[in-house]
Amino acid sequence: MSAVEGEGAALLAVAGAPKVWRRRLRSILLALMAQYTIVTLIVGLSVAGILRYVVTPQLVAKFEAIEAALKRLPAPLRG
């Protein structure tokens, strides 16, 4: 009987291990997702800042230059 009881204890020990493994894996995945979220947020805000303060004024200046050039063109002849 003691051999059977020893196997039962070994099975219980093995059966308890996946729960600890899952809990540890879940905490690791949660930490990785938190890091990913924080990095994504920082990169997104950086891109938004660059677009707002660098790219937008350049685009506005280009469109204003095109508008000024179009105003200088002679009016089309109407037939």
Determine phi and psi for 76, rounding to 5 degrees: -65, 145
> For residue 44, which amino acid is it?
G
Can you give the pTM of this predicted structure?
0.54
Q: What is the pLDDT of residue 79?
A: 57
Quote the CA–CA distance of 60 and 7 in Å, as a whole number: 77
Average pLDDT, the chain: 83
Residue 19, pLDDT score: 78
pLDDT in tens, 23-33: 899 999 999 99
